[in-house]
């Protein structure tokens, strides 16, 4: 055979590898691969050697035109999958994400993949089964009749290929029976690939509980939903208006049509309760994908969704990348939640990704929130999303009464003014529960020397250390550094070290002294680290005994706590004075979400907002006109300044131990981008400037921003720019990233 005919016959696979490089790699396929196998190779995992390591890669496609000298192309070591780990639809979604967020495709695919599949574990669900050995099959039909249970197993296996675990349980066959047969050499244990569900099994997805009669508003919203076509719905409904009920009924329709549903929920907090509601309603398999699910379970759930065995998938951000056999609807609950945007690696928005996904699958996507993001609201106002609104609480619950408490010149007790303390006392005396919301954990955000003004600062960051009392120590909330709290000032040796400012621990301690007869329960990251701690606490609170909950924004998430009659927001001034362009949006959402915890079902609710700037026009707008009008006002401010959703931006971040390296890198970025597209009215470049926290964890951080008036222009510049930047020698000295549609500016 001549060399040329050999290359003609040779097939290659283009492979994505988990390396921070934007290129793909060619490997030669074994000569034995048939045209039929090649057709099914895209999305399969392979083992290859790459720079003296063995890596697991993903086949993108097969071809006969190698991208470089065929003699230097290595053969791949092993094809790991019989069936694509990445079905075509998911592969397409990952390509879109890699292109849109300008992230290497190999790393993008790896982000989507559960850890065990990354490590090469089998890509098929297997079950343990019991089969007859050759000897067992040789037995006569009634060969074991003296041991009735063993005879039952034998009879079954003479007609069926194997016995599964669930069948053994259903037939009440004990492990000793099986062990006895194994010992006699009649039976053996094996594992087999689980077959996909039959149509009958799918049809069996019964609705377990009877859904409530819908309110007029709910019915109107349901009636407007269209299935089997792409449309984005913004379901804007106040807390407790019955949004979840709409999700459930929409999903029921989708299941009846033999399709699956994907439900995304925010990162922390509300997972257990939401999932419980879905499980109460539907009998079909529900796969969970979030941080409380073990790696092996995650792996199984992923495959169950891919193979159509799980009809509903509920998960956090990462679940947006679940392969689904027959996806019919996507639901994004609390769509405004910032946890939908990944903040490192592939900086994707699970919401935006899902909308793209729904468009390619031609299915509906529902974004639900009491406090929609300005982006979504803008799209709804302009008709790009279909706007559905629920303005009344479901059932008999009434909206809470909200008051602002003017803190100016008033004495404060662990952050609380007299009126707030009195309201707490009344609530408890009436047998009800209260929430005190403080968005800072620890005892005090600063430790200050009264003699010389020394402040405990983090050695690695531009940040004060937070003082914690339980147990006593100093803690940097940015780099996680911890150290003992000093007794003496390290600078002047004075012992007059005073905590300054307020954290959850301080108010907790004070309230415990004030109301010793009632439980005071703190809910923040420190008290909920243990798995299930939050769920257990919420279950306890759910019983309804009078108590005070103190917590950070973890409490603002959609917990259903029916006995909360009072919510006190200790300090709302920070958000109003924030320099971040999303500060006021977030504050409005937070206030409304926390307030939404008050007064559900039969207990009327009251909300007290403490402020030093009670006349702030934004606060007043929120109080008198509600979130929707407030958000519209913020939108007009954003329009005037060209901020998102009226402008589009990408943030380049760079960090290094030596500040000049990061700055030099970003100057190169600035030169590269402005050569591609000079600054104009529609294209702006800002920076390099120091990041909000310039020094974090021993590294100096800077940023450079590209702002445009159109998404297309932004993407065009990035497409050329990132490629050039990537090849520059300076990339070796700095950690850098590009963040498309960054949350900050
Ligand atoms: P949201 O998701 O908007 O906060 P939920 O769907 O959780 O609201 O509904 C709030 C409460 O009202 C829940 O306890 C729910 O069971 C109940 N609910 C919802 N819809 C109805 C209805 N049509 N009739 C009676 N109760 C309802
Ligand atoms: Zn001092
Ligand atoms: Zn630090």
Q: How far is the CA of 445 from the centre of ligand 2 (A)?
A: 18
In this prediction, residue 341 has a pLDDT band, given cuts at 50, 70 and 90, of very high
Find the range with the poorest average confidence among 118-127, 447-456, 611-620. 118-127
Q: How far is the CA of 241 from the centre of ligand 1 (A)?
A: 6
Query: How far apart are the C-alpha atoms of 566 and 100, rounded to whole Å?
Result: 45
Q: How far is the CA of 465 from the centre of ligand 3 (A)?
A: 7
Rg (CA), the chain: 30
Type and span of the H or E element at 346 = none
Q: Strand locations in 391-496, DSSP E?
A: 401-406, 433-437, 446-449, 466-469, 472-475, 482-483
Residue 171 has what pLDDT?
78
Q: How far is the CA of 533 from the centre of ligand 2 (A)?
A: 40
Pocket test for ligand 1, best of 217, 245, 246, 592 (most atoms within 8 A of CB): 245
Contacts 24+ apart (CB under 8 A), 656-659: 656/699, 656/700, 656/733, 656/734, 656/735, 657/698, 657/699, 657/700, 658/700, 659/700, 659/702
Within a 10 A sphere around the Cβ of 31, how many other Cβ atoms? Answer: 10
Q: Whose CA is nearest to atom 20 of ligand 1?
A: 242
Q: How far is the CA of 336 from the centre of ligand 1 (A)?
A: 20
Find the range with the poorest average confidence among 4-13, 43-52, 177-186, 476-485. 4-13
Residue 236 has what pLDDT?
97
Whose atoms come closest to the Cα of 466: which ligand?
Answer: 3
Helices (H), 197-294: 199-203, 216-224, 243-256, 271-281
What percentage of the chain exceeds 90 in pLDDT?
64
Residue 562 CA: which ligand 1 atom is closest? 14
Q: Whose CA is nearest to atom 4 of ligand 1?
A: 240
Residue 291 has what pLDDT?
82
Pocket test for ligand 1, best of 242, 249, 332, 366 (most atoms within 8 A of CB): 242
Structure letter (DSSP) for residue 282: B
Indicate if the pLDDT at residue 202 is higher than 70.
no
Whose atoms come closest to the Cα of 498: which ligand?
Answer: 2
Mean pLDDT for all residues in the chain? 90
Query: How far apart are the C-alpha atoms of 396 and 394, rounded to whole Å?
Result: 6
Whose atoms come closest to the Cα of 270: which ligand?
Answer: 1
Report helix angle 627-641 to 374-381, nearest 10. 90
Indicate if the pLDDT at residue 249 is higher than 90.
yes
Q: How far is the CA of 555 from the centre of ligand 3 (A)?
A: 25
The per-residue pLDDT for range 81-98, each reduced to its tens digit, is 988 999 999 999 999 999
Contact 603, 346 (CB under 8 A): no
Q: How far is the CA of 486 from the centre of ligand 2 (A)?
A: 11
Query: How far apart are the C-alpha atoms of 205 and 213, rounded to whole Å?
Result: 21
Residue 7 has what pLDDT?
46
Query: Rounded to the nearest 5 degrees, what angle is found at the Cα of 522, between the Cα atoms of 519 and 526?
Result: 145
The per-residue pLDDT for range 574-599, each reduced to its tens digit, is 766 677 788 889 989 988 888 888 87
Pocket test for ligand 1, best of 213, 221, 243, 244 (most atoms within 8 A of CB): 244
Residue 218 CA: which ligand 1 atom is closest? 23
Q: How far is the CA of 565 from the centre of ligand 1 (A)?
A: 18
Residue 197 has what pLDDT?
56
Residue 4 has what pLDDT?
46
Type and span of the H or E element at 99 = helix 88-100
Residues contacting 445, CB < 8 A, separation 6+:
464, 466, 467, 500, 501, 502, 503
Residue 248 CA: which ligand 1 atom is closest? 6
Query: How far apart are the C-alpha atoms of 224 and 573, rounded to whole Å?
Result: 40
Residue with tokens 């924004």: 553
**Which residues surround ligand 1 with Cβ inside 6 Å?**
212-215, 218, 237, 239-245, 394-395
Whose atoms come closest to the Cα of 449: which ligand?
Answer: 2
Question: 385-400 in b/e burial notation, b at 16+ Cβ within 10 A?
Answer: bbbbebebbbeebebb
Residue 213 CA: which ligand 1 atom is closest? 23
Pocket test for ligand 1, best of 243, 276, 395, 627 (most atoms within 8 A of CB): 395
Contact 151, 142 (CB under 8 A): yes
Residue 3 has what pLDDT?
46
Residue 482 has what pLDDT?
95
Q: Whose CA is nearest to atom 11 of ligand 1?
A: 240
Q: Beta 683-696 vs 699-708: how paired, if at all?
A: antiparallel
The per-residue pLDDT for range 391-405, each reduced to its tens digit, is 988 776 777 888 999
Q: How far is the CA of 501 from the centre of ligand 3 (A)?
A: 18
pTM > 0.75: yes or no: yes
Q: What is the dihedral of CA 354, 359, 360, 362, to 10 degrees?
A: 120
Residue 556 has what pLDDT?
72
Which of 306 and 7 is assigned the larger pLDDT? 306
Q: How far is the CA of 470 from the centre of ligand 3 (A)?
A: 20
Residue 196 has what pLDDT?
57
Whose atoms come closest to the Cα of 370: which ligand?
Answer: 1
Q: How far is the CA of 448 from the centre of ligand 2 (A)?
A: 8
């Amino acid at each position: 055979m001549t060399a040329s005919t050999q290359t003609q016959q040779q097939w290659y696979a283009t492979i994505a590898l988990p390396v921070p490089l934007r290129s793909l790699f060619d490997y030669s396929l074994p000569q034995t691969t048939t045209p039929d196998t090649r057709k099914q190779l895209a999305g399969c995992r392979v083992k290859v050697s790459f720079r003296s390591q063995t890596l697991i890669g993903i086949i993108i496609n097969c071809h006969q035109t190698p991208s470089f000298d065929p003699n230097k192309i290595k053969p791949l070591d092993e094809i790991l999958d019989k069936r694509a780990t990445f079905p075509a639809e998911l592969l397409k979604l990952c390509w879109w994400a890699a292109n849109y967020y300008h992230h290497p495709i190999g790393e993008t695919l790896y982000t989507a993949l559960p850890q065990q599949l990354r490590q090469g574990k089998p890509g098929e669900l297997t079950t343990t089964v019991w089969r007859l050995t050759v000897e067992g099959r040789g037995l006569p039909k009634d060969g074991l009749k003296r041991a009735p249970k063993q005879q039952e197993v034998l009879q079954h296996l003479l007609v069926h290929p194997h016995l599964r675990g669930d069948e053994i349980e259903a037939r009440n066959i004990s492990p000793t029976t099986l062990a006895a047969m194994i010992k006699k050499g009649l039976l053996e244990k094996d594992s087999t690939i689980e077959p996909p569900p039959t149509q009958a099994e799918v049809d069996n997805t019964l609705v377990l509980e009877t859904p409530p009669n819908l309110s007029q508003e709910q019915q109107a919203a349901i009636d407007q939903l269209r299935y089997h076509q792409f449309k984005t719905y913004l379901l804007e409904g106040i807390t407790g208006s019955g949004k979840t009920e709409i999700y459930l009924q929409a999903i029921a329709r989708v299941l009846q049509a033999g399709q699956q549903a994907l439900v995304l929920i925010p990162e922390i907090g509300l997972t257990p309760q939401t999932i419980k509601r879905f499980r109460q309603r539907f009998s079909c398999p529900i796969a969970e994908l979030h941080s409380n699910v073990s790696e092996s379970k995650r792996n199984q759930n992923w495959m169950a969704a891919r193979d159509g065995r799980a009809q509903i998938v509920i998960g956090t951000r990462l679940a947006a990348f679940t392969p689904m056999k027959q996806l019919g609807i996507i639901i994004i609950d609390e769509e405004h939640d910032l946890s939908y945007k990944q903040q490192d690696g592939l900086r994707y928005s699970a919401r935006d990704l899902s909308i793209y996904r729904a468009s390619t699958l031609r299915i509906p996507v529902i974004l639900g929130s009491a406090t929609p993001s300005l982006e979504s609201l803008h799209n709804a106002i302009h008709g790009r999303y279909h706007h559905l609104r629920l303005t009344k609480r479901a059932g008999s619950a009434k909206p809470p009464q909200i008051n602002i408490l003017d803190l100016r010149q008033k004495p404060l007790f662990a952050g609380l003014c007299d009126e707030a303390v009195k309201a707490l006392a009344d609530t408890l005396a009436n047998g009800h529960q209260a929430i005190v919301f403080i968005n800072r954990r620890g005892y005090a955000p600063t430790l200050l020397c009264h003699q010389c003004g020394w402040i405990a600062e983090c050695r690695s960051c531009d940040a004060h250390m937070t003082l914690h009392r339980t147990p006593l120590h100093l803690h940097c909330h940015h780099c996680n550094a911890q150290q003992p709290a000093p007794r003496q000032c390290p600078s002047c040796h004075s012992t007059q070290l005073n905590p300054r400012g307020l954290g959850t621990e301080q108010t907790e301690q004070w309230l415990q002294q004030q109301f010793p007869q009632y439980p005071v329960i703190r809910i923040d990251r420190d008290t909920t680290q243990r798995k299930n701690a939050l769920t257990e606490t919420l279950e306890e609170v759910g019983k309804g005994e009078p108590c005070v909950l103190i917590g950070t924004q973890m409490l603002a998430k959609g917990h259903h706590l029916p006995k909360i009659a009072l919510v006190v927001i200790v300090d709302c001034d920070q958000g109003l004075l924030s320099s971040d362009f999303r500060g006021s949006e977030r504050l409005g959402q937070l206030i409304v979400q926390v307030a939404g915890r008050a007064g559900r079902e039969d207990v009327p609710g009251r909300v007290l907002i403490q402020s030093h700037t009670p006349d702030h026009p934004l606060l007043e707008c929120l109080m008198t006109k509600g979130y929707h009008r407030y958000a519209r006002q913020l939108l007009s401010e954003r329009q005037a300044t060209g901020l998102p959703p009226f402008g589009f931006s990408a943030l380049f971040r760079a960090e290094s131990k030596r500040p000049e390296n990061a700055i030099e890198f970003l100057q190169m970025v600035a030169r590269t981008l402005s050569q591609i597209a000079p600054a104009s009215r529609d294209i702006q470049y800002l920076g390099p400037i120091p990041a909000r926290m310039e020094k974090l964890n021993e590294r100096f951080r800077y940023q450079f921003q590209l702002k445009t008036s159109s998404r297309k222009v932004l993407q065009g510049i990035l497409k050329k720019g990132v490629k050039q930047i990537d090849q520059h020698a300076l990339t070796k000295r700095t950690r850098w990233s590009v963040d498309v549609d960054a949350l900050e500016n």
